[in-house]
Structure 1
Amino acid sequence: MTDVRTAEAAQRLGVETTGIEIIDEAERTAAPRDLFWPWFAANVSVFGISYAAFVLGFGISFWQAVVVTVIGIVVSFALCGVIAIAGKRGSAPTMVLSRAAFGVKGQKVPGVVSWLVSIGWETALAILAVLATSTIFERLGWGGGTATKIVASVVVAALIVAAAVAGYHVIMRMQSVLTWVTGAITLLYIAMTVGDVDWSAVSAMPAGGIGATIGAFVMVMTGFGLGWINIAADWSRYQHRDASGAAIVGWNTFGGALAPVLLVTFGLALAGSDPAVLEGIGADPIGTLATLLPTWVLVPFLLAAVLSLVSGAVLGIYSSGLTLLSLGVRIPRPLAALVDGIILTLGTFFVVFVAEDFLGPFQSFLITLGVPLASWAGIMIADIALRRRDYDDDALFDSTGRYGAFDWVSIGTMVATSVLGWGLVVNSYADDAAWNNWQGFLLDPLGLGTFIDDPAGSYWEGTFAYANLGVLLAFLLSFVLTYVARRGTVQRQESRA
């Protein structure tokens, strides 16, 4: 009885008490167009402009980078849209729906990867907000030292955790407001810095080879849509069961891809115009972009930067809490978000005050977890494509039901393709993130690359060494294997009474 009263009190305060259980039919009131707001607000960040430097870091030309950016962003968010269809069919969080493909207990394998990805992304966004605050405060003469970073860390973490604890309905309202605020100030930034673009310098950038182009493409996909794909159904589980699947994919893709395509494209021109901007983004992405602005506009720029990063982190921490529950942790959903918020705060303090470099570990993190996440996505998308009916709600929570406890085909596929994938990706920052230097173990045997251990800085040599082919291999191979090997399994599941 106490739990009921507590839940009712939380609901009166606007806190979502629904955890990983199936959403009641009466609460499925969202329309596909509602998906635009959370995805657009989470991605209309000036960080998108700075991401252009990561793309150009592969040594490709401006026009190669534009093509890679547009295709990579749109395709990766379209894949998120396909995963979002599962949310409509099952009205449960992404990782709960993943039980249909991996088994009720076997889902813990991709669940752990998903939790780590969400925690990593939300912490990275919080770190960027703190570093931006410090840099801008320093330029304003307000002091950007330790005290500022501590206060900024606490405030940013508090904003993220408060919204995530409140839950779905508060977040949806918040995102619809932040869309306009951050979007307007981001457009102001573009208008005030477009004069810094040097088209002669941009057009003179030499073209890169096929390996570098593929590597940039994979980085874009991993950094944008694939970075969100493990939570895509969390935001579509309130959709009507009869909502159009095509509309869900369309609004998800449009909301997620619109801002990044425009921002990264502009960022490519900006970073390609000034070597100092291109280099500075590695240590402090948003703070470096602020150096191009006059003093009077720094405060609104900081506001937009922090709010946009908080907006993205809120989606991550909300979903990481749901993933934690799907792994068997028996606590209320708001408390799960709070636990992840504490981890976020500790991670932010560590990177801001202890770690010396941000870009290196961040890229290593993305590629490392991007491989098993791509494998999971291939399996999940194939499973969605094979199904013709909605999910069996009860069986998603019953290891003796039609989905079983473990699906060893899916688990084996994910493990095998992840191992193969890790053998075909490399740690781009071997000296800054030496803990990842075991990757790329298949490149040398296959003649695709050679590791050079140089005292001046270790690196890989070879046309396809930095192409990160392992991410594409993990996704495509997992999709094909699942679509072929599990067709009969899905048919049997859906034929059971």
Structure 2
Amino acid sequence: MSTTARDTGLEATRRLGVEQTGIEIIDEADRTAQPRDLFWPWFAANVSVFGISYGSFVLGFGISFWQAVVVTVVGVVVSFALCGVIAIAGKRGSAPTMVLSRAAFGVNGQKVPGVVSWLVSIGWETFLAILAVLATATIFDQLGWAAGTTTKVIATLVVAALIVSASVAGYHIIMRMQSVLTWVTGVATIVYVALTIDEVHWSSVSAIPNGNAQQMIGALVMVMTGFGLGWINIAADWSRYQRRTSSGAAIVGWNTFGGALAPVLLVLFGLLLAGSSPDLSAGIVDDPIGTLGTLLPTWFLVPFLLAAILALVSGAVLGIYSSGLTLLSLGVKIPRPAAALVDGVILTLGTIYVVFFSDNFLGPFQSFLITLGVPLAAWAGVMMADIALRHRDYDEEALFDARGRYGSFDWTSIATMVGASVLGWGLVVNSFAADASWNNWQGFLLEPLGLGTYVDDPAGPYWDGPWAYANLGVLLAAALSFVVTLLARRATVARQEAV
């Protein structure tokens, strides 16, 4: 970028508050963030009453309260720590995550994980927007207000407008917004806990029997993918404004602390609520936010709704902002605000379709996202190993030049990601087999390895066996790609850094 163009962009940012920087390298003068600044976006995006619903999901694997506590703490903390490792790349290269991924996959080879990342980001943020709209209708119904089509239309427009406008505005506005939302949603969540603490019955919670190791592993994978691993493909987007002198350990620490603090506390409280009432736990599975709202006095339903929506919007904003950057990294030649707007329009259309026209979409939609989680885990393994092998900052110009030191395609990384993904799919199962039968090919390695049996029951197909729902494929994809990359690309990385 020329100096004139950069100056023009900075002037526009100051005048309109809209970030003009796209996937280009952040100017040194703009790299003023400190590791502790990472706390705000990560905390705000994850301090949501929706996190309480995970208590029901975890106990649904058939494990006891104390087993669930271990799974929750380990799964949440480790998964956000992995995000912190990816965030180190942002400091080293001052570019978005998927641009930095070019060092491992090649400038053009990066489009393979880039497409996966873009689909995952768009999908999850659309899911958050859908939850926000449905929550509005549910709470309005509990209040006795109109909860029909008009309410859903208004809720869709408001939610979409909040998400799109913030993501179009960009980094600086989002950071300020997240620091405010942190307090609003945090206070509302504390009040929710205070108002519902009397719903906890320790005698019922402590009586839940222990599950086996396979059930704990299944719950652990679910927690990791639902929290930190769901953000891992955008982790460096928020650290690219860090000073070069920032400590890598501090970046990992603040990333982990900001992301994990609220989910750990919320899920633990959710375990107490779900373990106290089987009926509540069952209701949460079908309608998380609406069911949680049934525990509240009428006077707090509106603040609860606002806090729930703002928390979901906060998470969606981070995703749409980053999905716009990923779109640019794939070669789309439009300004960053326009890229965020394009993804925002897709999010809005997806939300409208699900809320107003689809009777059976959420199951297949979630199955699709879970399927993409396996290659995302494989990409993360490659990326983390690449970061571990490097001892110098990235050659920033080479990240945009296929003839540079990173090359056009790194076939070792691409083959590793593809191979680990195929093996990973063989060890995960489609949790929505009846709604998404086109995904029932997954788990093809379970029967050959004696880990599970597919039962084609007329009432609905399912998997039987202790390891069937452990979803080992996610862990395998990440671990295998990490080890293979660490061994197979050591010499390649050394040559790149010697240039």
Q: In the alignment, which residue of structure 2 is the partner of 1:469?
A: 472
Return 5+ residue gaps in structure 2 as ranges: none
Secondary structure in 1 matching 2:286: coil
1:183-205 CA distances to partner (integer Å, 9 max, x unpaired)?
A: 00000000000111121211121
Secondary structure in 2 matching 1:346: helix
Q: In the alignment, which residue of structure 1 is the partner of 2:345?
A: 342
> Is 1:293 equivalent to 2:296 in the alignment?
yes
Q: In the alignment, which residue of structure 2 is the partner of 1:56?
A: 59
Of residues 396, 401, 405, the one that matches 2:399 is: 396
User: Does structure 1 conserve the Cα–Cα contact (< 8 Å) formed by 2:92 and 2:393?
Assistant: yes
The one-letter amino acid of 1:392's match is D
Q: How does 1:41-80 map to 2 (within 5 A)?
A: 41-80=44-83
> Is 1:458 equivalent to 2:476 in the alignment?
no
Aligned-residue offset at 1:429: 1.8
> Distance in 2 between the 1:448 and 1:332 partners?
49
Q: In the alignment, which residue of structure 2 is the partner of 1:479?
A: 482
User: Does structure 1 conserve the Cα–Cα contact (< 8 Å) formed by 2:9 and 2:21?
Assistant: no
The one-letter amino acid of 1:205's match is I
Of residues 256, 259, 262, the one that matches 2:262 is: 259
Q: Give the direction of change, closer, same or farther, for the CA distance of 1:6–1:172 in structure 2 (3 Å limit).
A: closer
User: Does structure 2 conserve the Cα–Cα contact (< 8 Å) formed by 1:283 and 1:357?
Assistant: no
Secondary structure in 2 matching 1:281: helix
> Distance in 2 between the 1:6 and 1:318 partners?
18
Q: Give the direction of change, closer, same or farther, for the CA distance of 1:466–1:359 in structure 2 (3 Å limit).
A: farther
> Is 1:146 equivalent to 2:149 in the alignment?
yes
Of residues 217, 220, 232, the one that matches 2:220 is: 217
Q: In the alignment, which residue of structure 2 is the partner of 1:205?
A: 208
> Distance in 2 between the 1:99 and 1:353 partners?
40
TM-score (norm 1): 0.97
Q: In the alignment, which residue of structure 1 is the partner of 2:387?
A: 384
> Distance in 2 between the 1:59 and 1:352 partners?
32
User: Does structure 2 conserve the Cα–Cα contact (< 8 Å) formed by 1:185 and 1:304?
Assistant: yes
> Distance in 2 between the 1:209 and 1:352 partners?
38
58-67 or 298-307: bigger deviation: 58-67
Secondary structure in 1 matching 2:454: strand
The one-letter amino acid of 1:397's match is F
User: Does structure 2 conserve the Cα–Cα contact (< 8 Å) formed by 1:282 and 1:358?
Assistant: no
Aligned-residue offset at 1:360: 3.5
2-11 or 101-110: bigger deviation: 2-11
> Is 1:283 equivalent to 2:281 in the alignment?
no
The RMSD of aligned alpha carbons is 1.5
1:307-365 CA distances to partner (integer Å, 9 max, x unpaired)?
A: 01100000000000000000000000000000000110111112222344676446524
The one-letter amino acid of 1:215's match is G
User: Does structure 1 conserve the Cα–Cα contact (< 8 Å) formed by 2:426 and 2:442?
Assistant: yes
The one-letter amino acid of 2:187's match is A
> Distance in 1 between the 2:357 and 2:438 partners?
17
1:158-208 CA distances to partner (integer Å, 9 max, x unpaired)?
A: 100000000000000000000001000000000000111121211121222
Q: In the alignment, which residue of structure 1 is the partner of 2:249?
A: 246
418-427 or 275-284: bigger deviation: 275-284
> Is 1:129 equivalent to 2:120 in the alignment?
no
> Which aligned segments of 4 or more residues in structure 1 are displaced greater than 2 angstroms?
1-11, 353-367
Of residues 76, 86, 90, the one that matches 1:83 is: 86
Q: Give the direction of change, closer, same or farther, for the CA distance of 1:268–1:355 in structure 2 (3 Å limit).
A: farther
> Distance in 2 between the 1:449 and 1:242 partners?
50
Secondary structure in 1 matching 2:463: strand
User: Does structure 2 conserve the Cα–Cα contact (< 8 Å) formed by 1:367 and 1:425?
Assistant: no
The one-letter amino acid of 1:308's match is A
> Distance in 1 between the 2:346 and 2:28 partners?
34
User: Does structure 2 conserve the Cα–Cα contact (< 8 Å) formed by 1:282 and 1:359?
Assistant: no
Aligned-residue offset at 1:480: 0.3
Of residues 412, 433, 437, the one that matches 1:434 is: 437
The total of aligned residue pairs comes to 496
User: Does structure 1 conserve the Cα–Cα contact (< 8 Å) formed by 2:83 and 2:228?
Assistant: yes
The one-letter amino acid of 2:53's match is S
1:124-183 CA distances to partner (integer Å, 9 max, x unpaired)?
A: 111111111101111112111111111101110110000000000000000000000100
> Distance in 1 between the 2:100 and 2:393 partners?
11
Q: Give the direction of change, closer, same or farther, for the CA distance of 1:326–1:2 in structure 2 (3 Å limit).
A: closer
Secondary structure in 2 matching 1:15: coil
Secondary structure in 2 matching 1:26: helix
> Is 1:193 equivalent to 2:183 in the alignment?
no
1:18-40 CA distances to partner (integer Å, 9 max, x unpaired)?
A: 00000000000000000000000
Aligned-residue offset at 1:282: 2.3
263-272 or 362-371: bigger deviation: 362-371
TM-score (norm 2): 0.97
Q: Give the direction of change, closer, same or farther, for the CA distance of 1:22–1:372 in structure 2 (3 Å limit).
A: same
Q: In the alignment, which residue of structure 2 is the partner of 1:26?
A: 29
Of residues 172, 177, 189, the one that matches 1:174 is: 177
Q: In the alignment, which residue of structure 2 is the partner of 1:273?
A: 276
User: Does structure 2 conserve the Cα–Cα contact (< 8 Å) formed by 1:80 and 1:232?
Assistant: yes
Q: In the alignment, which residue of structure 2 is the partner of 1:364?
A: 367
414-423 or 61-70: bigger deviation: 61-70
User: Does structure 2 conserve the Cα–Cα contact (< 8 Å) formed by 1:115 and 1:320?
Assistant: yes
The one-letter amino acid of 2:211's match is G
Secondary structure in 2 matching 1:129: helix
The one-letter amino acid of 2:107's match is V
Of residues 312, 315, 318, the one that matches 1:309 is: 312
The one-letter amino acid of 1:452's match is V
User: Does structure 1 conserve the Cα–Cα contact (< 8 Å) formed by 2:426 and 2:444?
Assistant: yes
> Distance in 2 between the 1:31 and 1:259 partners?
21
The one-letter amino acid of 2:153's match is I
Of residues 34, 37, 40, the one that matches 1:37 is: 40
361-370 or 28-37: bigger deviation: 361-370
Secondary structure in 1 matching 2:20: coil
Secondary structure in 1 matching 2:231: helix
Aligned-residue offset at 1:435: 2.4
User: Does structure 1 conserve the Cα–Cα contact (< 8 Å) formed by 2:65 and 2:208?
Assistant: yes
> Distance in 1 between the 2:185 and 2:327 partners?
30
The one-letter amino acid of 1:249's match is V
> Distance in 2 between the 1:345 and 1:378 partners?
32
> Distance in 2 between the 1:440 and 1:36 partners?
38
